[in-house]
Amino acid sequence: MQVSERRIVRVLNGETLTPPPLWLMRQAGRYLPEYRETRAAAGSFLDLCYNPELATEVTLQPIRRYGFDAAILFSDILVIPDALKRNVSFNVGHGPQMDPIDPEGIAKLSPEGVSAHLKPVIETVSRIRAALPHETTLLGFCGAPWTVATYMIAGKGTPDQAPARLFAYRYPEIFARLLDFLADVSADYLVEQIDAGADAVQIFDSWAGVLGEKEFEAYAARPVRRMIQSVRARRPQAKIIAFAKGAGLLLKDYRQKTDANAIGLDWSVPLSFAVELQKDGAVQGNLDPMRVVAGGASLDDGIDAILQALGQGPLIFNLGHGITPEANPDHVTQLVKRVRGL
List residues binding ligand CP3 (CB under 6 A): 25-30, 39, 45, 72, 74, 76-78, 90, 95-96, 141, 157, 204, 206, 322
Q: Which is nearer to ligand CP3, 29 or 197 (CB)?
A: 29
Which of 197, 83, 90 lies closest to 143, judged by CA? 83
247 burial type by CB count under 10 A (0-12 exposed, 13-18 middle, 19+ buried): buried
3-state class (DSSP) for residue 339: helix
Q: How far is the CB of 142 from ligand CP3 (least distance, A)?
A: 9
Question: What's the count of helices (H) and strands (E) in the chain, helices before strands?
Answer: 18, 9
* Active-site residue flag, 76: yes
Among the options 30, 177, 338, 340, which is catalytic? Answer: 30
* Active-site residue flag, 99: no
Q: How far is the CB of 308 from ligand CP3 (least distance, A)?
A: 26
Q: Which is nearer to ligand CP3, 171 or 267 (CB)?
A: 267
In order of 86, 186, 269, 307, 322, the CA distances from 337 in angstroms are 43, 36, 24, 13, 19
Q: Are 306 and 271 in contact (CB under 8 A)?
A: yes
DSSP state of 250: G
Q: Are 242 and 206 in contact (CB under 8 A)?
A: no
Among the options 7, 50, 66, 76, which is catalytic? Answer: 76
* Active-site residue flag, 254: no
Among the options 31, 35, 66, 151, which is catalytic? Answer: 151
* Active-site residue flag, 30: yes
Q: How far is the CB of 63 from ligand CP3 (least distance, A)?
A: 11
* Active-site residue flag, 151: yes
Q: Which is nearer to ligand CP3, 26 or 226 (CB)?
A: 26
Q: How far is the CB of 187 from ligand CP3 (least distance, A)?
A: 17
Question: Could you give the residue numbers annotated as active site?
Answer: 26, 30, 39, 76, 151
